[in-house]
C-alpha cells in the first residue's frame, strides 16, 4: 500500500499505512522527509476527498516531527463505502498525497505509529486520537478503537499504579486520589478508558500538597461511580508526558465527603472548593449531587475569620453574607478604618462568582465596634450592602472575602454560613439592621432586593397542607370563617365556646389554618376535644411551614366551601351572640360593598378599631391607623355606620367573588402586616366600597400572635412591609385621604334594608 504525494517541487513518493480505526473510520499515516515535509507543513489545512468529492466531517489531520527531521502526517476520516476508492489529501487546492486503497486494512502497529517520535510528539498523537474520539460518538464507543487506545497506553505503562478511593459523594460519585512525578508538568487532559468506551473524565483534578514530602504531584478526582469500575484506566495527559492509573475495587465502607473534609482540615479549603464546583455543575441534573452541595456547605463550613484586634489600625468583619436564589448577595458587617487603608472588598462565592465593593455607602453606628476600639465621637462602622449578580449554578451558603489594602496587602474575611432555609435567611437579613436606621432609600436599594427573592423562594417550598376534618362538612355553608393560628392558642377556648353558644353559628363553616406546624399534634388534640365538647363541625388545615398571614388565609379560602368569607383572628372574641348575621346584613344592605368590618374593643372596653385610615408621619411615610383608637366604647362618632377607607383583617367579611377578583391576600408582605389594607385598596380600585358596622362588637387582644414571631420582632420587618405598602399605594392613599370620612353619615338608604328577617335567616 502506498501514498503518492504530489507536491510543487516534484519530490519523491513517501511510504505510508492505511489502518483500520474501528468499524467506521480509517487512520491514514505517511511520513515525509526533508523539503517534502517542510512543504507539506507550509501547505495549509489538509482536507481529504474520495472520487473527487470532499469528505464530509468528522475528519481531522495532525502533523508531527519525526526523530530525523521529517514530518509524520496522520489523518482520521470516515471509511469510504467503496474500499477500493482512492483517497486524495488536498492543501491549497493541490493534491499533496494520494492513497490507493485495497480491500481490507491492516491492524495498527503501535510501535510503527509512535516509533521515531519523541515524548512531545507521542503526547500530541495520543491527544489527537483521544480528542477526536471523545467528540465523535460513533468512535468513542467502538470496541476496536477502544482496544487500540488501551494497547497504545499499556505499551508504555504495562502495570499502571492504582488510584485510591477516598470517599463517596452523593451516592453516584466517588472521590479518588493519586500522585504523579514532580516532572510531569501541568495536567492538560484526562481520559477514562473502559472496556467499551473512551470518555473524557467528567471533571478536572484538584492539585494538592504531597503528603509524602517527596515532591510528587498529589491530586484528587471526582468521578462517576460507574466509571470507577475495576479494570478501567485513567489516562492523564500532561505538559511533559502521559501517565496511566487504574481504578481499584471499591472499598466496602467509605466515608462521606463531609467526613473526609472534616478529617483533613489542612486541605479542606482547596478540596472543598473543588468539590463544590464539581457537584454544582452536576447538581443541575442530579438531585443527589445537589444535596451533596448543601451538605458540604452546612456540615463542613469554612471557619469564620474576622479582624477584630483593638491594637491594629484597621478591623473588619462580615457578620452576615446571604446569597439569594436570583444571584444577589446581601452583606452585613462592619469596617473600622480611621486611616483609610482599605481600597476594596472582593467577595467570592463557592462556584467562582466574584463581586467587588469600593464604597460602603449605607453606614450606621455599631456600639460594639465603638466599644472595642474605644472610638470617640460618632461611630459609623456598620454597613449593609446588596450586590446584584447572575444566579449561581447551585445554592451558595457561604462566601469568602478579601479586604484589599491600598498598599497591596489583604485581610481575609470569612462570614458564617448562610442559614439553609430561605425563611431563616430572610429573617437574618431583616434582623441585620436596627429599625431606626431603616431609611426609605436603604429599604428600596438594599433590603428589598435581598428580602423579596428569599421570600419568594420560601413561598415556593410550600407543600400540600394536611386537612383534618371534625364532624360532617356542609356542602354550602352560608359563611366560611377562616381563622389563622400561629403559636397563640390560649384564646381558642373562649372563641369556640362563644361560637358554640350562638345559634346563628350552627350552620357556619369553621376553617382553622395552622401556620406553625410544629404545634400540629397539640392543635389536633385541642380541636378534637372542643368538637367532642360542643359538637361544632370544624376543619383544620396544617401548613407545611410558616408562610405568613396572607398565605394562611389564601390556603383557608382554597378549602372553604362558603360564598361569604369571614377572616377572623384567633384572638378575637365576640361580645354577644348574633353578631355574624348583623355583619352579613351590613355587607348586603346596599350594592357595591366589597367588605365590612365591625367595632373592635380592647379588653378594657376602649376602642381598638372603628375603621382603618391612612396618614403620613413627619418623614412623609404612610402608616395604617384605626379611627378613635383608645377612646371610650360608646364614643358617638364611633357608633355611626359609615364608609371607611379600609377595615382590619382581624375581622373582615367579604364574598368569594370579590375576594377572587382582588386576587386574594397579597403574599409579598413578610409574616403578617399591611395585607388587610392592601386587600381593601385593591377592592376600592375595583370601584367597591368598604363599610364599618358599629353595631357588631368584638374584643380583639391585639397582635398577640405576631409578637411571638422572632423574625418580625427582631428587625425591620414592620418597616419593610410599611415601605412596600406605601410604594404600591401612596397615590391611592393620598387620593382617599383627601376626603373627609367623618364629616357625614353614609348609611345605606332604607329601601335596601331587609326588614322582617331574623338574624338566623340572614345567614342562611
Give tens-digit pLDDT for 422-450.
999 999 999 999 999 999 999 999 999 99
Q: Kindly report, residue by residue over 370-424, the tens digit of the pLDDT.
A: 999 987 767 889 999 999 999 988 889 999 999 999 999 999 999 999 999 999 9
| Structure confidence by residue, pLDDT tens digits, 113-128 | 776 777 778 778 888 8
Three-class secondary structure of residue 14 per DSSP? coil
CA end-to-end span of the chain: 101
Query: So what's the pLDDT on residue 504?
Result: 94
Longest Cα–Cα distance of the chain, Å, equals: 121
pLDDT higher than threshold 70 for residue 762: no
Cβ-Cβ contacts under 8 Å for 23 (sequence gap 6 or more)? 142, 144
What confidence score (pLDDT) does residue 535 get? 93
Cα–Cα separations (whole angstroms), residue 393 to 284, 350, 355: 7, 10, 16
- The residue with greater pLDDT, 36 or 495, is 495
Cα distance between residue 620 and residue 626, in whole Å: 18
CA distance 118 to 66: 7
- Output the pLDDT for position 678: 97
For the cut 50, the answer to whether the pLDDT of residue 12 exceeds it is no
pLDDT attached to residue 438: 93
Least confident of 35-44, 437-446, 605-614: 35-44
Q: What is the pTM of this model?
A: 0.80
pLDDT above 90 (res 81): no
Is the pLDDT confidence value at 112 over 80?
no
What pLDDT, on the 0 to 100 scale, is given for residue 100? 67
For each of the domains in the chain, give its residue range(s) and CATH number, in order of start: 3-117 (2.60.40.10), 157-290 (2.60.40), 315-459 (no CATH), 466-737 (3.90.550.10)
Confidence at residue 492, expressed as pLDDT on a 0 to 100 scale: 93
Whether the per-residue pLDDT at 129 is higher than 60: the answer is yes
Contacts of residue 246, Cβ cutoff 8 Å, sequence gap at least 6? 160, 161, 162, 163, 230, 231, 232, 233, 234
The predicted pLDDT at position 108 comes to 58
The model's pLDDT over 514-534, given as tens digits with 9 standing for 90+, comes to 999 999 999 999 999 999 999
pLDDT in tens, 332-353: 999 999 999 999 999 999 988 8
User: What pLDDT shows up at residue 79?
Assistant: 85
- pLDDT for 751: 35
In the prediction, which pLDDT does 182 show? 86
For 521, the grid coordinates are: 399534634
Give backbone dihedrals phi and psi of 404, rounded to 5 degrees, phi first.
Answer: -85, 135
Q: For residue 757, is pLDDT > 50?
A: no
Contact criterion met (CB below 8 Å) for 265 and 202: no
pLDDT at 52: 79
pLDDT digits over 498-508, tens only?
A: 999 999 999 99
Q: Picking from 8-17, 142-151, 282-291, 616-625, which range would have the lowest pLDDT averaged per residue?
A: 8-17
State the average pLDDT over residues 82-89.
80
Q: What pLDDT is stored for residue 238 in this prediction?
A: 84
Region at 422 (left for phi over 0; alpha for psi -120 to 50; beta for the rest): alpha
Provide the mean pLDDT of the chain. Answer: 86
The reported pLDDT for the residue numbered 285 is 79
Amino acid at each position: 500500500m502506498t501514498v503518492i504525494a504530489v507536491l510543487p517541487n516534484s519530490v519523491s513518493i513517501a511510504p505510508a499505512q492505511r489502518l483500520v480505526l474501528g468499524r467506521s473510520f480509517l487512520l491514514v499515516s505517511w511520513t515525509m522527509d526533508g523539503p517534502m515535509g517542510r512543504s507539506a507543513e507550509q501547505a495549509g489545512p489538509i482536507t481529504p476527498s474520495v472520487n473527487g468529492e470532499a469528505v464530509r466531517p468528522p475528519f481531522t489531520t495532525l502533523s508531527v516531527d519525526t526523530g530525523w527531521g521529517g514530518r509524520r502526517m496522520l489523518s482520521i476520516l470516515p471509511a469510504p463505502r467503496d474500499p477500493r476508492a482512492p483517497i486524495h489529501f488536498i492543501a491549497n487546492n493541490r493534491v499533496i498525497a494520494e492513497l490507493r486503497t485495497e480491500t481490507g486494512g491492516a491492524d495498527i502497529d503501535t510501535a510503527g505509529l509512535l516509533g521515531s517520535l519523541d515524548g512531545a510528539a507521542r503526547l500530541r498523537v495520543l491527544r489527537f486520537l483521544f480528542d477526536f474520539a471523545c467528540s465523535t460518538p460513533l468512535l468513542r464507543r467502538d470496541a476496536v478503537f477502544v482496544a487500540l487506545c488501551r494497547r497504545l497506553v499499556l505499551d508504555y505503562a504495562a502495570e499502571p499504579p492504582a488510584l485510591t478511593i477516598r470517599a463517596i459523594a452523593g451516592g453516584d460519585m466517588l472521590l479518588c486520589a493519586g500522585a504523579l512525578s514532580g516532572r510531569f508538568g501541568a495536567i492538560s487532559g484526562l481520559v477514562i478508558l473502559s472496556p467499551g468506551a473512551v470518555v473524557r473524565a467528567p471533571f478536572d483534578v484538584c492539585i494538592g500538597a504531597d503528603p509524602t514530602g517527596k515532591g510528587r504531584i498529589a491530586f484528587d478526582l471526582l468521578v462517576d461511580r460507574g466509571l470507577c469500575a475495576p479494570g478501567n484506566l485513567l489516562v492523564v495527559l500532561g505538559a511533559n508526558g502521559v501517565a496511566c492509573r487504574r481504578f481499584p475495587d471499591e472499598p466496602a465502607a467509605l466515608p462521606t465527603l463531609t467526613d473526609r473534609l472534616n478529617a483533613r482540615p489542612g486541605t479542606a479549603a482547596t478540596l472543598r472548593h473543588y468539590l463544590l464546583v464539581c457537584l454544582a455543575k452536576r447538581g443541575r441534573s442530579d438531585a443527589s449531587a445537589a444535596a451533596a452541595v448543601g451538605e458540604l456547605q452546612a456540615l463542613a463550613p469554612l471557619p469564620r475569620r474576622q479582624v477584630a484586634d483593638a491594637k491594629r489600625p484597621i478591623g473588619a468583619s462580615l457578620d452576615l453574607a446571604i446569597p439569594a436564589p436570583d444571584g444577589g448577595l446581601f452583606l452585613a458587617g462592619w469596617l473600622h478604618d480611621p486611616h483609610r487603608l482599605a481600597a476594596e472588598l472582593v467577595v467570592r462565592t463557592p462556584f467562582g462568582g466574584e463581586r467587588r465593593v469600593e464604597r460602603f455607602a449605607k453606614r450606621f453606628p455599631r456600639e460594639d465596634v465603638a466599644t472595642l476600639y474605644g472610638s470617640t465621637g460618632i461611630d459609623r462602622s456598620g454597613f449593609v450592602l446588596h450586590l446584584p449578580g447572575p444566579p449561581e449554578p447551585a445554592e451558595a451558603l457561604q462566601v469568602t472575602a478579601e479586604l484589599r489594602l491600598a498598599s497591596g496587602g489583604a485581610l481575609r474575611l470569612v462570614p458564617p454560613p448562610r442559614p439553609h432555609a430561605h425563611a431563616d435567611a430572610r429573617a437574618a437579613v431583616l434582623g441585620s439592621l436596627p429599625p431606626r436606621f431603616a431609611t426609605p432609600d436603604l429599604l428600596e436599594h438594599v433590603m428589598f432586593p435581598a428580602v423579596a427573592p428569599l421570600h419568594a423562594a420560601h413561598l415556593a417550598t410550600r407543600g400540600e397542607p394536611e386537612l383534618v376534618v371534625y364532624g360532617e362538612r356542609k356542602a354550602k355553608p352560608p359563611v366560611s370563617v377562616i381563622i389563622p393560628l400561629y403559636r397563640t392558642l390560649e384564646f381558642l377556648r373562649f372563641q369556640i365556646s362563644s361560637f358554640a353558644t350562638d345559634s346563628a353559628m350552627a350552620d357556619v363553616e369553621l376553617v382553622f389554618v395552622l401556620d406553625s406546624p410544629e404545634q400540629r399534634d397539640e392543635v389536633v388534640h385541642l380541636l378534637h376535644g372542643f368538637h367532642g365538647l360542643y359538637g361544632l363541625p370544624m376543619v383544620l388545615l396544617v401548613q407545611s411551614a410558616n408562610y405568613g398571614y396572607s398565605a394562611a388565609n389564601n390556603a383557608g379560602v382554597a378549602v372553604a366551601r362558603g360564598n361569604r368569607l369571614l377572616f377572623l383572628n384567633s384572638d378575637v372574641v365576640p361580645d354577644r351572640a348574633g353578631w355574624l348575621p348583623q355583619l352579613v346584613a351590613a355587607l348586603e344592605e346596599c350594592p357595591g360593598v366589597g367588605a365590612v368590618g365591625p367595632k373592635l374593643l380592647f379588653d378594657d372596653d376602649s376602642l381598638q378599631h372603628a375603621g382603618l385610615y391612612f396618614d403620613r408621619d413627619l418623614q412623609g411615610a404612610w402608616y395604617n391607623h384605626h379611627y378613635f383608637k383608645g377612646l371610650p366604647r360608646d364614643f358617638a362618632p364611633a357608633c355611626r355606620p359609615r364608609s371607611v377607607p379600609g377595615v382590619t383583617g382581624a375581622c373582615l367579611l367579604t364574598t368569594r367573588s370579590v375576594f377572587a377578583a382582588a386576587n386574594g391576600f397579597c403574599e409579598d408582605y413578610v409574616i403578617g402586616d399591611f395585607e388587610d389594607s392592601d386587600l381593601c385598596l385593591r377592592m376600592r380600585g375595583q370601584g367597591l366600597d368598604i363599610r364599618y358596622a358599629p353595631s357588631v362588637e368584638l374584643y380583639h387582644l391585639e397582635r398577640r400572635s405576631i409578637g411571638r414571631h422572632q423574625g418580625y420582632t427582631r428587625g425591620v420587618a414592620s418597616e419593610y412591609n410599611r415601605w412596600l405598602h406605601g410604594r404600591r399605594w401612596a397615590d391611592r392613599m393620598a387620593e382617599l385621604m383627601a376626603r373627609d370620612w367623618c364629616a357625614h353619615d353614609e348609611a345605606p338608604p332604607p329601601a335596601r334594608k331587609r326588614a322582617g328577617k331574623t338574624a338566623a335567616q340572614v345567614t342562611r
